[in-house]
Amino acid sequence: MRGAESVEALEAALRVIAPYRRPDLETRLRTSLHRLRTDRVRVLVVGEFKQGKSLLVNGLVRAPVCPVFDDIATAVPTVVRYAAEPTAALVRVVEQAEDGDPAAAKLERVELPIEELAGHLVETGDAENRERWRHADIGLPRALLAHGLEIVDTPGVGGLNSVHGAATMAELPQADAVLFVSDASQEYTAPELAFLKQATALCPNVLCVLSKTDLYPEWQRIAELDRTHLERAGMDTDLLTVSAALRVHAIRNRDEEADRESGFDELTEYLVDQVAGQAEVLARRSTANDVAAATEQLATTLLAEQAGYTDPAHAGDVIRRLTEAKKQAVALKERSARWQHTLSDGIADLNADIDYDLRDRMRDIVREAEEEIAKGGDPKKTWDQLASWVEQEVSAAVAANFLWTAQRARWLAEQVAEHFSDGQEPLPKIRTATEDPLGRVADMELRLGEPFGVGQKALSGLRGGYVGVLMFGMLGTIVGMPLINPFSIGAGLLLGGKGLTDDRRRVFAKRQAEAKAAIRRYADDVIFQAGKESRELLRRVQRDLRDHYTDRAEETNRSLKESLASAERSVRASKEEQERRLAEIPAQLKRLAELRDQALALAPRAGGHRQLEAAP
């Protein structure tokens, strides 16, 4: 759990508002409290395979929890979080949620000793993850993780353009921070820079980590080259250098000097201050807003009641203002409200744009693949390389499409917030996580059809040769030559070769057509699966935004309704009742003001809230 002060403020607020019988406000505060207690700060460790990601995670948590081998790589994500006692489990999806939300899927946990995880997490143990593990979950009692950090060691099998790379890319919108790991053997490659550019556009905290500095004497030069690449690409991203091997040595031998030289102190400081610290700031700001909003809504009711008691002559004006405000609040709930139109029209536009973008990307890939096939030759010989290229391009295209979807969804959320309350209402947390759609796409297979081996070639040549010998031999017999003569033999060789060439072209053309059809089937399957995920994602976004702002409108409407009722009751109240309530209301307002001030002190920049003062 993180944000102890925020948790205390929310618990205090729940105690204070309990007597007012406002279940809507209690639900809002309890939801915020649950989020604080359960949400973790997610840190993705990403990069090409064999760059030292797993060893980096081990160094951070000071334990060999992620398997490390010289010749094999991680194939299943590993999530390392805080736990009072060491735990390990494998997690997989048993049943998908109806709305496709990965967070709502039904999961199965298989507990097992940490030392047995390696066989399930690396490519030799389960190269294609046939058991369909979603991730490994490891809990450790570590001070770093107690800040609420959740470190994820992502697969690097196949590189950043692989299917694993696309799945990692799809996780970026939900990450609080990204550690991009590249070793000191060479400077950044073009795919690495492209990945970094997308990561910095989607994640608030991206840090580049240069690993294995103990193995390469030129690591300082490589670090400078990498910083130059980042600057030229316009990415304001820091770069730290670390040696995980030196860190392990320092832990084993309790060598403090070696530990300092490893560079992990700076990395740990970054995670605590920049990542966990920023998440704490956001949590405080959200808590301050929720508590202040709740106290102000309750205070509105008390102030309206107080105004009716202290100034009966102007009670009618108060009632009229509250009635008008209530009409505006009711209008916010109607389908004709501007924010409702913005949301429905925006989702419809997004659905069309995202579908077009995906189909356009797939069409370009299919066209390029077909052009490569049409260059001639037997697709059977180049199919493995071509299929691998198509899968990589499709993975990159799907990842880019989902990232664009997440970016557009956030932009739409900002537009809806602006139209709902002129930007005064903070943005809700929208669910843009998705399951990897390529995991449900059938493999791309080339159906060879009729074989064309040595036997078929010989038969094709003999068939053409027989026709040539027979035809020209019969013509030769007319002029007295034998059936088998030099001319008939030459004609047989010529027609046999032509028949062999024609059959080869026919078979190759058939295989080329089948290869094109296989690629089109694969692209259609990808469009179907990825399109379904995109539509479900946008439906979740629409539902989250609609429910959030409808709840806010309902809260405002109920507060104004009760304020109006309180003002009307104050006009009809007896003198004894007026005196009693005039004595109670200032104390209640003072208590609400103290609670509001306590919450706002958590986030000094959280402004826009009015003073809660009793009327003189």
Q: Give tens-digit pLDDT for 333-376.
A: 666 678 888 888 999 999 999 999 999 999 999 999 988 888 86
pLDDT at 512: 81
**What is the three-class DSSP state of 179?**
strand
Tell me which amino acid residue 80 is.
V
Measure Cα distances from 194 to 169, 172, 197, 206, 436 in Å.
11, 14, 5, 14, 20
- Contacts of residue 591, Cβ cutoff 8 Å, sequence gap at least 6: 16
Judge whether residue 447 has pLDDT over 50. yes
Q: What is the DSSP string of 86-128?
A: -EEEEEEEEE--TT--GGGSEEEEEE--GGGSHHHHBTTTSTT
Judge whether residue 416 has pLDDT over 90. no
Does 333 or 444 have the greater pLDDT score? 444
From the list 84, 590, 199, the residue with the least C-alpha distance to 598 is 590
Mean pLDDT of 251-267: 90
Judge whether residue 149 has pLDDT over 70. yes
The confidence band for 64, taking pLDDT boundaries of 50, 70 and 90, is confident
Does 109 or 616 have the greater pLDDT score? 109
Of all residues in the chain, the percent with pLDDT exceeding 70 is 74
Judge whether residue 538 has pLDDT over 70. yes
pLDDT at 365: 93
From the list 528, 163, 521, 520, the residue with the least C-alpha distance to 366 is 520
Measure Cα distances from 371 to 31, 344, 507 in Å.
55, 41, 18
- Burial category of 547 from C-beta neighbours within 10 Å (exposed 0-12, middle 13-18, buried 19 and up): exposed
Cβ atoms 82, 166 nearer than 8 A = no
pLDDT at 158: 47
Mean pLDDT of 577-586: 80
pLDDT at 236: 86
HEC string of 452-517 equals CCHHHHHHHHHHHHHHHHHHHHHHHHHCCCCCCCHHHHHHHHHHHHHHHHHHHHHHHHHHHHHHHH
Judge whether residue 208 has pLDDT over 90. yes
Judge whether residue 162 has pLDDT over 60. no
Q: Give tens-digit pLDDT for 68-93.
A: 765 555 677 889 999 989 888 888 87
pLDDT at 457: 60
In this structure, what token pair is assigned to residue 68? Answer: 């490390």
Distance of CA 223 to the CA centre of its chain: 29
Mean pLDDT of 216-243: 92
Cβ atoms 596, 412 nearer than 8 A = no
**What is the three-class DSSP state of 53?**
helix
239 — phi, psi (to 5°)? -135, 125
Helix (H) or strand (E) holding 307: helix 277-310
Looking at the DSSP assignment, which residues form a beta bridge with residue 528? none
The confidence band for 615, taking pLDDT boundaries of 50, 70 and 90, is very low
- Highest mean pLDDT, choosing among 38-47, 264-273, 463-472, 570-579: 264-273
Measure Cα distances from 441 to 401, 446, 527 in Å.
16, 15, 10
Helix (H) or strand (E) holding 536: helix 486-572
Tokens 């001639």 correspond to 376
Judge whether residue 504 has pLDDT over 80. no
- Contacts of residue 598, Cβ cutoff 8 Å, sequence gap at least 6: 9, 12, 291
pTM of the predicted protein model: 0.74
Average pLDDT, the chain: 79
pLDDT at 243: 92
**Residue 74 DSSP code:** B
Mean pLDDT of 484-494: 66
Distance of CA 179 to the CA centre of its chain: 15
pLDDT at 125: 44
- Burial category of 190 from C-beta neighbours within 10 Å (exposed 0-12, middle 13-18, buried 19 and up): exposed
Mean pLDDT of 170-195: 85
Report the C-alpha gap between 56 and 298 in whole angstroms: 51
Judge whether residue 187 has pLDDT over 70. yes
pLDDT at 107: 75
End-to-end CA gap in the chain: 43
The confidence band for 614, taking pLDDT boundaries of 50, 70 and 90, is very low
Q: Give tens-digit pLDDT for 95-145.
A: 766 655 565 667 788 888 877 777 666 654 444 555 677 788 899 999 889
The confidence band for 478, taking pLDDT boundaries of 50, 70 and 90, is low
Beta strands 149-153 and 41-46, pairing class: parallel
